[in-house]
Amino acid sequence: MAMKTARLTRRFVITGLLVPIVLFAPQAYGESYVAGQFGVTLPQSLSNGTVTQDGLGGLDISNQPLKSSAMVGAKLGHYFTKARWLGIETGLSYTTPNVKEGSVTFSGPGGSATTPTLSGLSQRVVIWDTDVIFRYPGYRLQPYIGIGPSLFFSSLKGPTAPPGQSSMAIGFNTEVGAQYYLTRQWTLFGEGKYSRARMSYTSNDSDPNADPFGFRATYSAFTLSIGIGYHF
């Protein structure tokens, strides 16, 4: 009787140890993936602006509020076989955080002046990210974070004097999200990303009729998105 009880006890203990191992042991593999996503860009104002237009250079300008915008994007990534929690990812996103209608205040050593209400400006931003990704290699639900440099390609156009201004800038981004494996190949994911760069809209500094005038300002935005990925 005692021996039977001991056997049952050992089986119970072994089962109790194996169940959590089976349920929660990492199941991730070295893999590559492609994904598409869409969401919304929530930009902060263009800030810390400095005028670069010929004849006006050196003046500071007030923050310029931006509109929220839809975002679409695609990305390609790979998780390493020998470090399944580590990956690298590159992606492109497109958004249009236009400058809102409003006045602009110029300030300098001689004081400040505010313009009448100006028309809004059309802004397009394409961001090319390259990130290092760290994930928790769980069974189906896998949280992840990422960080890396970005290239920002942007254009700004006013209503009166095309072609406007263009900018290419180096910045950075950070992201946090989670993906859920619907099947071995297909995942559904959601993420939040913060992007930041110093834009240089200076391509028409020598044109006195440029719209908008030449300036530098800091662009930053938080993006919320969802998407679907295919892993192979």
**Tens digits of per-residue pLDDT, 144-154?**
999 999 999 99
Does residue 164 come out as left (phi exceeding 0), alpha (psi in the -120 to 50 range) or beta? left
Confirm whether 54 is domain-assigned. Answer: yes
Contact at 8 Å (CB) between 68 and 40? yes
| pTM score | 0.83
Q: How sure is the predictor about 5, in pLDDT bands with cuts at 50, 70 and 90? A: very low
Confirm whether 22 is domain-assigned. Answer: no
pLDDT at position 128 is: 98
Confirm whether 16 is domain-assigned. Answer: no
pLDDT at position 1 is: 53
Q: What is the mean pLDDT of residues 111-131?
A: 91
pLDDT at position 208 is: 81
Confirm whether 15 is domain-assigned. Answer: no
Confirm whether 40 is domain-assigned. Answer: yes
Q: How sure is the predictor about 21, in pLDDT bands with cuts at 50, 70 and 90? A: very low
State which residues form the domain around 161: 27-231
Confirm whether 10 is domain-assigned. Answer: no
Confirm whether 11 is domain-assigned. Answer: no
Q: How sure is the predictor about 12, in pLDDT bands with cuts at 50, 70 and 90? A: very low
Confirm whether 37 is domain-assigned. Answer: yes
State yes or no: pLDDT of 81 exceeds 80: yes
Instruction: Write out the two tokens for 194.
Output: 């913060």
CA distances from 75 to 72, 98, 110, 175, 190 (A): 11, 24, 49, 13, 13
State yes or no: pLDDT of 15 exceeds 70: no
Distance CA 42, CA 142 (A): 25
Q: What is the CATH number of the domain that holds 117?
A: 2.40.160.20
Burial 157-188 (b: 16+ CB within 10 A, else e): bbeeeeebbbbebebebebebbbebeeeeebe
State yes or no: pLDDT of 27 exceeds 80: no
Domains in the chain, number: 1
